[in-house]
Amino acid sequence: MNINQIEYFMALVKFGSFSKAAEYANISQSSMSKQIKSLECELGVTLFRREHSKTFLTKAGEAFLPYAKQSLESHAEMLLSLKEQIDNETYTLKIGSIPVVSAYNITNVLAEFVSLHPKKTIIIDLMESTQHSVFKALTDGNVDMALLRTDCMPNYEDYDCIPYLEDNFVMVCRNDNNLSTRKSVSLESIARYPLAILDTSSLIHTIIIHAFKSAGIPFKVRFMTTRHKVLMETLQKESCVSLMPERLVDLQMFPRLKTTPLTEPIISKVALIRDKSRKLSRITRMFWEYVQNVRSVDTN
């Protein structure tokens, strides 16, 4: 019995399908089947019951499961211990983030953490991309933890979470637009104007569309883009309006824009997320605890 076989066993438990488990493990379905069969032969028991395209643990499989988890944890601890000895006080912290790094003060948080450990060489490997891409990097183990919007978060119980901040959506338009003079504005009023919004790769797009559809308000999208700055440049030139999290609107860079609160609040929650099933290295554990303490102070 080797560690790969145990990993394949756990993948099959997680996905309940040879095809999905094989795809996750990046091997062929036939190889996955052979590895599981070899493990069953070595243990002398049947671990899975097959029904059509689904797999279910047998009683023997359920009995083996906690030992499989313990084996993976012990293996991970061994690798981390060896790595930290080899690194000789050089650590890499892999962080994923939706494209809000500057607006949400993430670089300052990272810099402050590094400054607290002057005797350690800490390398920050920061990946900034869409919600979908960052979440995939997290599930694939390519980042240690990720700053994500928790709206519509799948399989939330599989992840540990530190609430980072809440961001209110506001209407954004040119300061000569009639709506800009109001103290607050409704979705119904906004829908009378063509919308300029982030495209479907952003969860912000999903949140906006859901808000209009839930209220039963018809709307028209004129312009979509992947980038916040391109969106704001467009709003300065066109008669469109937009909805955006308030912290992402840079009024200093785009002085012709105006933000107005919504009469029906839309709030997006952002959190630092980690996969519960993955063992934290020493440095990632230190950073996780640091953020926990910082956010605890900020919210009190």
Point out which residues pair with 270 in neighbouring strands: 149, 165
Is 243's pLDDT higher than 50? yes
Q: What is the pLDDT of residue 300?
A: 41
Give the number of domains in the chain. 3
Q: What residues make up the domain containing 39?
A: 3-85
147 & 280 share domain: yes
Listed in sequence order, the residues at least 6 apart from 196 whose beta carbon sits closer than 8 Å to its beta carbon are: 221, 222, 223, 224, 225, 231, 234, 235, 238, 240, 241, 242
How far, in Å, CA of 89 to CA of 25, rounded?
31
264 & 276 share domain: no
Among 85, 115, 140, residue at a domain's last position: 85
Total Cβ atoms within 10 A of residue 289: 12
46 & 191 share domain: no
Q: What is the pLDDT of residue 158?
A: 84
Nearest one of 183, 284, 203, 282 to 244, comparing CA atoms: 203
How far, in Å, CA of 164 to CA of 106, rounded?
10
State which of 62-76, 252-266, 274-288 shows the largest mean pLDDT.
252-266
pLDDT tier at 299, thresholds 50, 70, 90: very low
Is 156's pLDDT higher than 90? no
197 & 249 share domain: yes
The pLDDT tens digits for 70-122 are 888 888 877 777 666 555 567 889 999 999 888 898 989 999 999 988 878 88
110 & 76 share domain: no
262 & 176 share domain: yes
Q: Are 72 and 3 in contact (CB under 8 A)?
A: yes
199 & 152 share domain: no
Point out which residues pair with 50 in neighbouring strands: 55
62 & 204 share domain: no
Q: What is the pLDDT of residue 297?
A: 45
51 & 118 share domain: no
68 & 197 share domain: no
The pLDDT tens digits for 28-50 are 888 889 989 999 898 899 999 98
Is 168's pLDDT higher than 90? yes
Provide the angle, in degrees to the nearest 10, between the axes of the packed helices 18-25 and 3-15: 130
125 & 246 share domain: no
